[in-house]
Amino acid sequence: MIVSTRVRVRYKDTDCMQVVYYGNYLTYFEVGRVEFLRQQGLPMSDVDQKVHLPVVEAVVRYVRPARLDDLLEVRCWVSERKRASFRFAYEIVSEDGETVATGATLHACLDPATSKMIAMPPWLRELMPVVQSEPKPSV
Amino acid sequence: MIVSTRVRVRYKDTDCMQVVYYGNYLTYFEVGRVEFLRQQGLPMSDVDQKVHLPVVEAVVRYVRPARLDDLLEVRCWVSERKRASFRFAYEIVSEDGETVATGATLHACLDPATSKMIAMPPWLRELMPVVQSEPKPSV
Amino acid sequence: MIVSTRVRVRYKDTDCMQVVYYGNYLTYFEVGRVEFLRQQGLPMSDVDQKVHLPVVEAVVRYVRPARLDDLLEVRCWVSERKRASFRFAYEIVSEDGETVATGATLHACLDPATSKMIAMPPWLRELMPVVQSEPKPSV
Amino acid sequence: MIVSTRVRVRYKDTDCMQVVYYGNYLTYFEVGRVEFLRQQGLPMSDVDQKVHLPVVEAVVRYVRPARLDDLLEVRCWVSERKRASFRFAYEIVSEDGETVATGATLHACLDPATSKMIAMPPWLRELMPVVQSEPKPSV
């Protein structure tokens, strides 16, 4: 269960160093995990009704800069699952197959009404099988 | 009643043409009008409780590019007021006094509960005197 | 010659009023015109080598708010052409066919080496036929 | 040597969950480290001429959400220094003194001409004393 999504680098995403601004990889990760959930039959609007999944921790490792108009592939999978939290891992790959960035986001499960931590709901757990090993060693 | 606010250009604001991305001037306008309202005793969080002021139309005229680390002055004033809408005008000026951009945003007044258009509330009207002429001819 | 591109609304694009932030429509316009040029055989990286096309003026009219996860269609066409400048017009349409926003960007043609205004190059002019009338009356 | 900078949360920074978008903390970190360097007499425009300091790795830990109009304090210091790289650490604190987020960015030193890794220049090393312990235990 590794879901791939394509993202085209916009002017908006770049900065005056002529590469993608470092914070924008977290936006690409967002696109990757939203498409992961959609492919599992879970559009974000539905998910948000049932459970909040705020990011508790995010890590990005920058390997090669991406540039304007690059067509990036965002690979997203579940790398870890605990009782009340889970981790998405990401790898962003260029069109010529080189790793651009890797990273991870740790998510908590919250009750949308009370904002209290809850155990990961079974229907969500089921749709999020853990992929044991990363496709490549990260940097 | 022209309110000036300073904004420092961040890497995040620039793009690979090494100037501020054209869409980000609307963010600088946002900063300008939020500070205009704050200076009138109206923090946005208070305003949003009483009346919604969505932007109905926005215009930007780009005069000279701004660059990384520039310290810009955002001038904001009310240029027009109608029964249920009003217009903010903006001028963005560089440290050496040159006009970087000018523009305007037209705002409607909506009831926050129903999202229906309402007449501009008197307490808001009072705090928003119209400045008849622009400080400089716009481009 | 109206080019359509699909854009999915990201969390990143929305703001705390739970709709797309007003400045981000200029990013959607950017995506629309870059895809217009690509479809004419002009990837941006090529264009930028030959001619700079900075935005001189931008206008957005906000008709209906777009929300998280909406799949928007960005329609882009050339609405006006002068000796040394031209205008792109845009219409953003929701999946149920409603107009979300309309707008335009006026572009100058600059020599990339000198940054001086130049006449629109014939090879560019040829690929940018003017579409006389907008598909719908704008707001 | 801990440098504090104030950042006001803009509409642009929030998302439809009504809190600051998770990727935008990396922008606040950027503001913090640029002001750190400015306070050391190094405006970014000067630094970029002499040495490139790309981010190689970034980490954010989200403690409490920040919201529209919050006035945040970004604390930035050097937490580690090696031969050819160094780490900035950050703590973002709300007006009532609560930790909002913590994090770090690891930077490499590159020759701006060749983009090759170089030892941290002595003039930079001198201006970046390591602060041994974090002001608070991070999450």
- Whether residue D85 is predicted with pLDDT greater than 80 in this model: the reply is yes
Residue B45 with chain D: CB contacts under 8 Å: 68-69
- Whether residue D64 is predicted with pLDDT greater than 60 in this model: the reply is yes
pTM of the model: 0.95
Q: Are strands B3-8 and C85-93 parallel, antiparallel or unpaired?
A: unpaired
In terms of residues, how long is chain B? 139
Note the pLDDT tens digit of each residue in C53-88.
999 999 999 999 999 999 999 999 999 999 999 999
- Which amino acid, C66? A
Mean pLDDT of chain C: 94
Adjacency order of strands within the sheet including A3-8: A3-8, A71-81, A85-93, A99-108, A55-62, D55-62, D99-108, D85-93, D71-81, D3-8
CA–CA dist C116, B96 (Å, integer): 22
Interface touch A67/B15, C-beta < 8 Å: no
Distances in whole angstroms, Cα of residue B124 to Cα of each of A39, B84, C98? 47, 11, 32
Give me B126's structure tokens: 């009072």
Band the pLDDT of B9: cuts 50, 70, 90.
very high
Interface touch D55/A22, C-beta < 8 Å: yes
Per residue of chain A (139 residues), give pLDDT as tens: 999 999 999 999 999 999 999 999 999 999 999 999 999 999 987 888 999 999 999 999 999 999 999 999 999 999 999 999 999 999 999 999 999 999 999 999 999 999 999 999 999 999 999 998 655 544 4
Q: What is the pLDDT of residue C139?
A: 43
Give me A135's structure tokens: 């496709």
- Mutation target to probe the C interface, by most C beta carbons within 10 A, among B26, B48, B64, B100 is B26
Query: Which residues share a beta bridge with A95?
Result: none
Residue among D22, D52, D55 whose CB faces A58 most closely: D22
ipTM: 0.93
Pick one of 3.90.1570.10, 3.40.50.2300, 3.30.590.10, 3.10.129.10 as the CATH number of D3-127. 3.10.129.10
Interface touch B14/A16, C-beta < 8 Å: yes
Touching chains, B (3+ CB pairs < 8 A) = A, C, D
Note the pLDDT tens digit of each residue in C79-112.
999 999 999 999 999 999 999 999 999 999 999 9
- Mutation target to probe the C interface, by most C beta carbons within 10 A, among B24, B53, B60 is B60
A3-126: CATH superfamily: Hotdog Thioesterase (3.10.129.10)
Note the pLDDT tens digit of each residue in B75-90.
999 999 999 999 999 9
